[in-house]
């Protein structure tokens, strides 16, 4: 049975476009991908692009025109999530619109810098989780080195899948152990992305990173870990193919581990079944 590989995070920058991305996916054996549309940061506001600045609200409203178009044209190959900002005065309506969009599957928050992290610690992101829970949407969360701040939100919304992006970006073993301790909250999952960068190895097949992946799988279970390449932001001297093949071809991962890690977990979380029942 063929392996249903789904990349749980890619960005569509101005290039590559959807067709170029599909060509690469076909070459690599990737069946589908989840788009987080992101083209960098506005030089004046620091907001991610594409997004609309909201005057007076100290907020922005991300948009995803390329992701919407790609998913509409290739619905079996692309789905997308939408970044949201917790200070958006129309947050609830925006998240409802995500739930109603035919190819949107989740929302994402990015808490970076002392201001955002302080607000996350105070509970100010509660409206995001409340609205996501109201509409049955997962919340993907980028909180580098501060994944523990997600625990109270996950505990307050036990039926909402909360996905810790990029392994929580721990800076040392102590912070990695903090990530593993989140496994006792059953609705927190881990997105395995940037393993070679996080764990300081750039030599294929990234054995030290694989050691840590096995720790994550042991703590969370294969059903709560998903792979993502985030290939357009890889900083090391390796490729999209390297990120995938190091796991797909590994003799240290069992067949079921690969099935869940490389596709089944993200499809389950996003309620995005494979169109081909012969592929798992």
Average pLDDT over residues 58-63: 91
User: At CA 266, angle to CA 261 and CA 270, rounded to 5?
Assistant: 170
The CATH number given to whatever domain includes residue 47 is 3.20.20.140
CA neighbor of 223 nearest in space, from 173, 274, 186, 184 = 186
In a domain, 222, yes or no: yes
Q: What are phi and psi of 258, to 5 degrees?
A: -65, -40
Q: What are phi and psi of 140, to 5 degrees?
A: -90, 140
Q: 21-54: per-residue pLDDT in tens?
A: 999 999 999 999 999 999 988 888 888 899 999 9
In a domain, 275, yes or no: no
Taking 90 as the threshold, does the pLDDT of residue 83 lie above it?
yes
Cβ atoms < 10 Å from Cβ of 177: 12
In a domain, 280, yes or no: no
How many Å apart are CA 242 and CA 211, to the nearest integer?
A: 17
In a domain, 116, yes or no: yes
255: left (phi over 0), alpha (psi -120 to 50) or beta: alpha
Taking 70 as the threshold, does the pLDDT of residue 121 lie above it?
yes
Give the total number of structural domains in the chain. Answer: 1
Domain of residue 203 covers 6-270
- In what helix (H) or strand (E) does residue 90 lie, and over which residues does it extend? none
In a domain, 14, yes or no: yes
Residues in the chain: 280
How many Å apart are CA 261 and CA 218, to the nearest integer?
A: 13
In a domain, 98, yes or no: yes
In a domain, 1, yes or no: no
pTM: 0.96
**DSSP per-residue codes, 186-233:** TTEEEEE--HHHHTT--STT-HHHHHHHHHHHHHH-GGGEEE---GGG
Model confidence band, residue 235 (pLDDT cutoffs 50, 70, 90) = confident
In a domain, 48, yes or no: yes
Do the Cβ atoms of 137 and 163 come closer than 8 Å?
no
């Amino acid at each position: 049975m063929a392996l249903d590989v789904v990349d749980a995070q890619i960005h569509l920058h101005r290039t590559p476009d959807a067709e170029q991305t599909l060509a690469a996916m076909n070459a690599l054996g990737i069946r589908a991908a989840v788009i987080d549309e992101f083209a960098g940061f506005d030089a004046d506001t620091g907001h991610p692009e594409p997004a609309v600045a909201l005057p007076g609200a100290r907020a922005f409203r991300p948009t995803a025109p390329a992701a919407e178009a790609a998913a509409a044209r290739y619905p079996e190959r692309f789905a997308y999530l939408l970044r949201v900002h917790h200070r958006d005065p129309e947050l609830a309506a925006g998240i409802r619109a995500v739930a109603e969009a035919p190819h949107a599957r989740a929302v994402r928050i990015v808490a970076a810098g002392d201001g955002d992290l302080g607000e996350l610690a105070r509970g100010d992101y509660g409206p995001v989780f409340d609205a996501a829970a109201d509409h049955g949407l997962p919340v993907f969360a980028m909180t580098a080195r501060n994944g523990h701040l997600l625990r109270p939100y996950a505990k307050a919304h036990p039926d909402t899948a909360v996905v810790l992006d990029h392994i929580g970006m721990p800076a040392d073993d102590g912070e990695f152990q903090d990530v593993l301790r989140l496994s006792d909250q059953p609705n927190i999952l881990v997105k395995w992305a940037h393993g070679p960068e996080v764990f300081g190895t750039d030599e294929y097949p990234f054995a030290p990173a694989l050691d840590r992946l096995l720790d994550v799988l042991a703590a969370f279970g294969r059903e709560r870990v998903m792979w993502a390449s985030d290939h357009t932001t890889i900083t090391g001297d390796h490729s999209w193919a390297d990120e995938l093949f190091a796991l797909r071809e590994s003799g240290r991962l069992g067949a079921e581990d690969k099935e869940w890690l490389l596709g089944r977990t993200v499809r389950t979380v996003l309620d995005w079944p494979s169109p081909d029942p012969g592929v798992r």
